[in-house]
Structure 1
Amino acid sequence: MVADIMGEVNGLIEGQAKLFGSLSEQIWSYAELSFAEQKSMDLLIKTFEKKGFSIERGLAGLKTSFIASFGSGKPVIAILGEYDALAGLSQKKNSTIHDPVTPNGSGHGCGHNLLGVGSLAAAFAVKDYLVQHHLAGTVRFYGCPAEERGNGKAYMAREGCFEDIDAAFSWHPGSINVVQQSSSNAVIEARFSFDGVSAHAAALPELGRSALDAIELMNVGVNYLREHMPDKARVHYAVTNTGGSSPNVVQSHAEELYLVRSPKPNDVRTLFERVVNVARGAALMTETKMSYKIEGGCHNLIPNTALHQVMLGYMKKIGFPEISGKDLDFVRAIYHSLGENEKKYALSHLDPGQRAAVSEKPIEDWIMPLPEKDVFMEGSTDVSDVSWNVPTAQCMTATWAFGTVPHTWQVVAQGTHPYALNAALFAGKAIACTAIQTMTDSELLTKAKQEFKERLSGQAYDCLIPEDIKPPEK
């Protein structure tokens, strides 16, 4: 069964590789930011329509979200796709030096052009397999906007978009090949605003009440808070509005954006309230008024060992794609462009044999084993909110040179290379094979659902984004 599925899926995806490469490159060139991925969404929808999928747009108030569906009845399998880019990461393709296309422009610094198309390839393969074998069941591609900022999947989960799904699958570009048997930090994103009174800073400073002072005092207070929060928790911020550029004016308005992370939803709620209390204290000290608005949030990730074991098996059998000599030269050049700290950090995670391998060929072409226990990821992902609603499995494949750091120009530069596309299709094949086996093997699906239930231990999903908060309109 495994060999038959793998052989068919490989042929189905390789037969359309040129189409997938073209789609990925077009989305790379659009490089649209969160909530504004209109061109990318339209391109994907048009491609799904040509393939015979039905389309539902605008889920959960997200203008750039959609579902492409094919088939009927149970089981219903979801494949998640993303296509948003990052601000400030414009970069020319195929360049081994930092060289923006547009200064301060956007770029796919997390590889979501590859992510969306790799997932699309998986959905196409599952659809074709169902047709060829006259099988019941439904495959859905979820077009998920705003992963980089805004947590689009959390809005979709809050509105029940995943409630009738039997299993969900995703992947992410990276520099290793691994199933993501990991948990993660839950996160709340909020904007804090302070309003005071402007005044002439020299002539009448006593009449002023500085919002900028409040911002600074809040940040100092949060820095003191760090000693008294859980080890795995994280709090970070960016001042987004200083209130002006004149030092001779007491700034009457200032804003900053905070990300508060902790391993569990209740933990992050508690820590967030402590951060709010610090902000209240800063407002009291400066006699300003403080307000805040939650702008995003997502849960911790719940992995599924049953599905990951199957996915890992397919990854090993399919094998990481070979890299051509020309592509390997580019991989080496990208690796050499990395800083010494980045190289040292990446090498510290390898054994001596692996270090020797990447010194000759700086890309991880091996498949990592399933860890004995769940790995913890300090970052956050809105795939987590899906994983709280349905058994979810995902993998990572080496679309980037060894040691490449996410959210950098090096990621953007590699985004259209053949080896990056091949690694994306490698992920697509693993997802498609695992999805097909899940749809045709009732014991596997039952086992995955039982594990999902046990991991939740009676906890119910409660979105971290309040009901009254709507997605921003771009």
Structure 2
Amino acid sequence: MKRRSAGAEVVNEHPLWLYVREAKDRFEDLSDRVWGSPETCYSEHASVAAHIEELRFQGFELHEALAGIPTAVMGKYGREGPVIAFLGEYDALAGLSQKADIAQKDPLESGANGHGCGHNLLGSASMLAATALKRWLAQTGTPGRVRYYGCPAEEGGAGKAFMVRAGAFDDVDIAITWHPGDVAGFVKGSSLAIARVDFTFEGRAAHAADAPHLGRSALDAVELMSVGVNYMREHIPDTARIHSAILDSGGLSPNVVHAYAKVSYMVRADTTADMLTLLRRVEKVAEGAALMTETQVTVDVNSGSSNLVYNPTLGDLMQRNLDRLGPPPFTSKDTAYAARFQATLSEDDIRQSYAAKGIVEKERKALADFNVPASTPAMPFGGSTDVADVSWVVPTVQMWGATHAIGTQLHSWQAVAQGKGRPALKGMVHAATVMAATAADALMQPDVLARAQEDLARYVGSVGYISPLPKDAMPLA
């Protein structure tokens, strides 16, 4: 069979492309169903149920509540040969409810959740790739085992870090995943290691007018901690990031000395070791704030993720499949749809999208009718992902998919609104096609598996993986 890529010469079709096309309709429906039930951090009960239903339909052997996490699941197929893992996600974000296909901010339900990072697409495409590979293994008799990992709580909960700690990936040979975005290409750069930490201050309540001298304000401690962290910012690496949000200010009345207050911090740095060092400095600031206010502080590290390990062998293999397939088959109708959303974005949004991929905008496009060129340099990724923890123990490759109008910022209402559109679904199937073909090529080229393991061993070195999670940390909603 033959296929013509946009702007490219006729190329031979990869055998996995057909298997993806034959199965795609059910996974487009799965993506839409998950979009319609957005659930956050370890509460993805409807979403994981939908994934379990589809895994069962596709004939996978099920392992529910994987790693002791109720909303994690694994489906597996095959009895011998290398283990190929596809990583999926399905968690949403709080406060991003938005009607589909509407190019203006219009929540379905004010204050409710929404799929602002495209994880409805992410999990569906990864399972589609796993299903296509499963069918190919069964038809050809090629030795190999395929697994789909349904991973909860990527947004702030570090589900995969807990799964790694529980040994869920110990016998996996390679892991493959992707993330929705606005231009297709594989991820060459690293990510920032991160810890999510809650600081709870407890003091003594008092009447703020009659006896303020008897009170010890936990809210003062939160504010002083913020001042201290702000003074730290001059003295941390340029690439480090510290963010915070007050979870509980301790009350609504200004006439009360607040005896309780709670603030959450995210601490990010280039490596896990650097992040843990920076976290200790933030903890010292909290201790100082408690000392100044004569309050008590409790520190709870809820989650953490490592920095991403890039695997050049698998990256080259995925790039060859991107080149062979070409970009998603967007139509003029798809472009017109995306243009409505791009019109709601700023010039800075669009410029940032190109800059983040290391490419130059030559002409204004609403949708990416191109893939990121192989010659593009690795670009730093300022965010964090728990895929990184898998990448420290298993050779891992990840790609960006072209699912949204160019310039769309993740974690925005625009991303939610486009999550059921035809461009998003076409980009999702495109990513599944690349991932499935990459997996099949790895199975047909045993030297790839060996070289991928060598790449990982060189990066990890003798120290090996250091979990960013404290030993007593547990997955928390």
TM score, norm. by length of structure 2? 0.95
Aligned to 2:414: 410
1:72-87, aligned counterparts within 5 Å? 72-87=79-94
Aligned: 1:299 with 2:306 = yes
Distance 2:283 2:471 in 1: 19
CA contact (8 A) 1:61 1:471 kept: no
Aligned to 2:274: 267
Question: Partner letter of residue 339 of structure 1?
Answer: S
Aligned to 1:70: 77
1:460-471, aligned counterparts within 5 Å? 460-471=464-475
Aligned to 2:8: none
Aligned to 2:112: 105
1:101-180, aligned counterparts within 5 Å? 101-180=108-187
1:5 Cα offset (Å): 9.2
Aligned to 1:245: 252
Residues 279-322 of structure 1 deviation map (CA, whole Å, 9 limit, x = unaligned): 00000000000111000001100011111111011111111122
Given the superposition, is the C-alpha separation of residues 375 and 345 from structure 1 closer, same or farther in structure 2, using an over 3 Å criterion? closer
1:355 Cα offset (Å): 3.4
Aligned to 2:6: none
Q: What is the aligned counterpart of 1:443 among 441, 447, 455?
A: 447
Distance 1:317 1:81 in 2: 24
Aligned: 1:10 with 2:14 = no
Residues 79-130 of structure 1 deviation map (CA, whole Å, 9 limit, x = unaligned): 0000000000000001000000000010100000000011011001100110
CA contact (8 A) 1:181 1:371 kept: no
Given the superposition, is the C-alpha separation of residues 5 and 118 from structure 1 closer, same or farther in structure 2, using an over 3 Å criterion? farther
Aligned: 1:215 with 2:219 = no
Aligned: 1:188 with 2:192 = no
1:11 Cα offset (Å): 1.2
CA contact (8 A) 1:347 1:355 kept: no
Cα RMSD of the aligned pairs, angstroms, is 1.9
Given the superposition, is the C-alpha separation of residues 195 and 188 from structure 1 closer, same or farther in structure 2, using an over 3 Å criterion? same
Residues 7-44 of structure 1 deviation map (CA, whole Å, 9 limit, x = unaligned): 32211111222211111100000111110111111111
SS at match of 2:301: strand
Question: Partner letter of residue 108 of structure 2?
Answer: V
CA contact (8 A) 2:359 2:372 kept: no
The count of residues paired between Structure 1 and Structure 2 equals 470
Distance 1:432 1:397 in 2: 14
Aligned to 2:101: 94
Aligned: 1:289 with 2:293 = no
In terms of mean alpha carbon deviation, does 336-345 or 93-102 score higher?
336-345
Aligned: 1:432 with 2:439 = no
1:462 Cα offset (Å): 2.3
Distance 2:294 2:350 in 1: 48
Distance 2:328 2:113 in 1: 29
Distance 1:222 1:350 in 2: 31
Distance 1:139 1:180 in 2: 22
1:371 Cα offset (Å): 5.4
CA contact (8 A) 1:181 1:370 kept: no
Distance 1:370 1:322 in 2: 20
Q: What is the aligned counterpart of 1:329 among 330, 336, 344?
A: 336
Question: Partner letter of residue 437 of structure 2?
Answer: C
Structure 2: segments with no counterpart, 5+ residues: 4-10
Name the % identity: 41
Question: Partner letter of residue 48 of structure 1?
Answer: L
CA contact (8 A) 1:5 1:436 kept: no
Structure 1: segments with no counterpart, 5+ residues: none
Given the superposition, is the C-alpha separation of residues 104 and 253 from structure 1 closer, same or farther in structure 2, using an over 3 Å criterion? same
TM score, norm. by length of structure 1? 0.96
Q: What is the aligned counterpart of 1:370 among 363, 370, 374?
A: 374
Aligned: 1:230 with 2:242 = no
